[in-house]
Amino acid sequence: MFKPISRRTALKGLGVSMALPWMEAMSAEKLAKPPVRTAFLFKPNGVCPKHWNPSGKGENYECNTPYLKFLKKVKSEFIVLENLYHKKTAGRNGHWPKVPAFLGGGFVVRTTGRDMDTGIPSCDQVMSKFIGSHTPLPSLELGIDEPRTGIDNAGGGFARIYGNHIAWRDSHTPVPSERIPRLAFDRLFKSGPAPTLSGFNPNSNAAKKTLIYDDASILDVVMDDAKTLKKKISINDREKLDEYFESVRAVERQIQNSMKPQKRWENKGSFEIPRPEEGVPKDHKKHVRLMLDIMTLAFWTDTTRISTFMFGNAQSGQNYSFLDGVKGSYHGLSHHREDQKVLNQFLEIGYYHMEHLAYFLEKMSSLDEGGTSLLDNSQVLFGSTIKDGNRHTIEDLPLILAGKAGGKIRSGRRLTAPKKTPLCNLYVTMMNNMGVMVDKFGDSKARLDLA
């Protein structure tokens, strides 16, 4: 038996976002069964529709289109979703307002940046609000591309910051994605490779790198001064001050949540990755796989149950010349105008993304959780906010939903919903699967039946 570690114990250094993965020494009780985890994987610039849509119906569809063939090994583990879309992205710019709408479907206001408004928080952050206190990290946001700034005048005058984020705490506040693997890893672990849960020693160096955390909020200490300051500044500045305070509160809540004796799920055995090197890997493939491994590790250790990953930002101009036969900007190649030579390059990039999706799903499927797999106990949505990358079409978005959500999803089939079914119908179901019992979200009209 481990002697319980005080809830007042936290990582050394307030600059570190979160503590070690939840350990037996910090938990009063264990969950009787694995919790459900949710991941959202965003792919920019759409696909080539004729190379995406499979033939066959229901469980008898063929997983042999150029895109889907990469998922053959895990065909029984996912659903091909069809005819879902976001109505409020119709007639808008091809990229900038569609990316922040991915997980909410709201009407994104054209702005230079001071008054951003997506119309609605993203569904991952709604989940986080309700169940984020159950884990050390309420949610984990990861990405690859360097954020873009400024205004895209050629694209309708939208602030490019919109295209950097799919996670939005509220309609005005994006949740930044971490793109440096070591920093993402260190949010899970202070230093060194991840200790196995069954072998954690509370007297180890990792456990000793702690300090006593005062339950009094930093903001509580300065609130009187803040009230005085608010009387002297403009309404806009008051709003910015409130946003800043909320950001500090969010960090404090993460620290406090990590110390609460919540019921935790503890896996047997181990799944370890070494602490990544500093900076952004020069090898793009290594970069992507590191981030997917970190997400897997975060789920495996029950450090978080909600995560997002962006293969690229809006209008991603990533140069994929490391792929055979590919040259030039990814976004540029997406507008191939049916030129076969250009289209072939665009397709190769899409296949590259599918290869990584397959890697992620196969990894999760291989991790046993007492007779079920990590993927069995997860729901993973992969997709884009446009269907045809060349024409920016929005109906029948390319979407894959993998995992069984602990038995709540019947996978291994093609699900063709009625045309123009709100994508938010799916999000209502996914939130319900996480125990967030909402009846409506965004422009949803009903739950999408996944059973």
Number of C-alpha atoms within 13 angstroms, CB side, residue 416? 9
Q: Is residue 242 part of a domain?
A: no
Q: Contact, 197 vs 266, CB < 8 A?
A: yes
Assess whether pLDDT exceeds 90 at residue 28: no
Whole-number average pLDDT of the chain: 84
Q: Binning pLDDT at 50, 70 and 90, where does residue 2 land?
A: very low
Report pLDDT digits (tens) over 225-247: 666 777 777 776 776 667 666 66
Q: What is the CATH number of the domain that holds 125?
A: 3.40.720.10
* Residue closest to 141 by CA, chosen among 132, 130, 151: 132
Q: Which carries the bigger pLDDT value, residue 317 or residue 260?
A: 317
Q: Is residue 374 part of a domain?
A: yes
- What Cα–Cα distance (Å) separates residue 378 from each residue in 230, 245, 295, 305? 45, 33, 12, 9
Report pLDDT digits (tens) over 171-204: 999 999 999 999 999 988 743 333 333 333 334 4
Whole-number CA gyration radius for the chain: 22
Under the phi-then-psi rule, with left for phi > 0, alpha for psi from -120 to 50, and beta for the rest, what region is 402?
Answer: beta
Q: Is residue 198 part of a domain?
A: no
**pLDDT recorded at residue 221:** 56
Q: Is residue 451 part of a domain?
A: no
Provide CB contacts within 8 A for 242, sequence distance 6+: none
Burial class (CB in 10 A: 0-12, 13-18, 19+), 31: middle
Give the count of domains, the chain. Answer: 1
Q: Is residue 449 part of a domain?
A: no
Q: Contact, 399 vs 383, CB < 8 A?
A: yes
Burial class (CB in 10 A: 0-12, 13-18, 19+), 19: buried
Work out the angle at residue 43's Cα, subtended by the Cα atoms of residues 68 and 69, and round it to the nearest 5 degrees: 10
Provide CB contacts within 8 A for 226, sequence distance 6+: 219, 241, 245
- What Cα–Cα distance (Å) separates residue 346 from each residue in 50, 268, 291? 13, 42, 23
Identity at 351, one-letter amino acid code: Y
Report pLDDT digits (tens) over 283-302: 999 999 999 999 999 999 99
What DSSP letter does each residue of 176-231 carry, written as one string?
A: PPB--HHHHHHTT-SSSSPPPGGG--TTSHHHHSEEEPPSS-HHHHHHHHHHHHHT
Give the span between the Cα atoms of 305 and 299, in whole angstroms: 6
Q: Is residue 10 part of a domain?
A: no
Q: Is residue 332 part of a domain?
A: yes
Task: Judge if pTM exceeds 0.75.
Answer: yes
3-state class percentages of the chain: helix first, strand second, coil last, to nearest 5 = 35, 15, 50
Identity at 312, one-letter amino acid code: G
Report pLDDT digits (tens) over 386-445: 999 999 999 999 999 999 999 999 999 999 999 999 999 999 999 999 999 999 999 999
Of 25-29, 97-101, 322-326, the poorest mean pLDDT is in 25-29
User: Containing domain of residue 412, as a range?
Assistant: 31-181+273-433
User: For the chain, what percent of residues have pLDDT higher than 70?
Assistant: 79
User: Which residue, chain included where needed, has tokens 């200790």?
Assistant: 195
Cα dihedral 91, 94, 97, 103, rounded to 10, equals 100
Assess whether pLDDT exceeds 90 at residue 304: yes
Q: Binning pLDDT at 50, 70 and 90, where does residue 19 land?
A: very low
Q: Is residue 409 part of a domain?
A: yes
Q: How many CB atoms are closer than 10 A to CB 433?
A: 21
Q: Binning pLDDT at 50, 70 and 90, where does residue 21 land?
A: very low
